[in-house]
Amino acid sequence: MKKFLVTGLLVWVPLGITIWVLNLTITTMDQTLLLLPRDWHPDILLGIHIPGLGIILTFAVVLLTGLLIRNVFGQRLWAASEKGMLHVPFVGNIYKGVKQVSDTLLSGSGNSFRKVLLVRYPHPDAWSLAFQTNVPNEVVSKFDEEYVAVFIPTTPSPVNGFYFFVRRADTIVLDMTVDVALRSIVSMGVVSDTPSAITPSPTLS
């Protein structure tokens, strides 16, 4: 009886957590509908609640914003709005810091992570995954040999970590994409490099 109970848990625990996460995500995104005037709420217009409309609304707003900013008029309008926002006390400092982080992680213009490396951390006999970033020119001039800037993320939250300058000779460049490295860090090494088909959970004998 115990083996059947454990086998059932192996099926329902990951399924239940997946459903819970999806429900939490959809419910949270549906809160964006509260930004609309009350008379425009789908629950009032249609008379029923349809889960997931918030996701559609959020996707549409983000997509339209991207389309607007990609043209000359949108770029000028946003540049003027952003300039004004940066001059607002306290708000400008928060926005500037958040924008720098988002530009680093999402930008495709060379500011994002360049390579996945192995570096010796936290002690000489251990290796950790790290991402190569940019070395400021002022820092480069202080070294007699070549150094690289690396960001060592923490597990399982890669948004936190440590920023170091290490000798290039003390690093190992991996033939691994940033996406694969991030998946490995978030899953604490459980997720493999290549996706595999989902197989049934093993039964216990």
- Are 120 and 57 found together in one domain? no
Share of the chain above pLDDT 70, in %: 85
In a domain, 194, yes or no: no
Is residue 191 very low, low, confident or very high in pLDDT (cuts 50, 70, 90)? low
Mean pLDDT is lowest, of 113-122, 124-133, 176-185, for 176-185
Domain region containing 122: 116-186
Is residue 37 very low, low, confident or very high in pLDDT (cuts 50, 70, 90)? confident
The structure tokens 């995104």 sit at 29
Dihedral sign, Cα of residue 12, residue 14, residue 18, residue 20: positive
Q: Residue 9: pLDDT above 80?
A: no
Nearest to 44 by CA among 75, 27, 53: 53
Mean pLDDT is lowest, of 21-35, 38-52, 158-172, 184-198, for 184-198
| CA angle centred on 82, ends 53 and 163, rounded to 5° | 90
Q: Are 37 and 14 in contact (CB under 8 A)?
A: no
- Are 27 and 98 found together in one domain? yes
Confidence (pLDDT) at 19:
82
Nearest to 98 by CA among 143, 159, 31: 159
Beta-ladder partners of 130 = 117
Tell me the mean pLDDT in the region 53-72: 81
**Count of domains observed in the chain:** 2
In a domain, 172, yes or no: yes
Distance separating alpha carbons of residues 163 and 165, to the nearest angstrom: 7
Q: Residue 89: pLDDT above 50?
A: yes
For the ranges 13-17, 51-55, 79-83, 169-173, the one whose mean pLDDT is highest: 169-173
Residue type (1 letter), 21: V
In a domain, 140, yes or no: yes
Sheet holding 161-167, edge to edge: 161-167, 147-153, 127-133, 116-120, 172-173
For the ranges 43-47, 59-63, 156-160, 169-173, the one whose mean pLDDT is highest: 169-173
Instruction: Tell me the pLDDT of the chain averaged across its residues.
Output: 78
Whether the full predicted model's pTM is greater than 0.75, yes or no, is no
Query: Residue 186, class by beta-carbon neighbours within 10 Å (0-12 exposed, 13-18 middle, 19+ buried)?
Result: middle
- Are 95 and 12 found together in one domain? yes
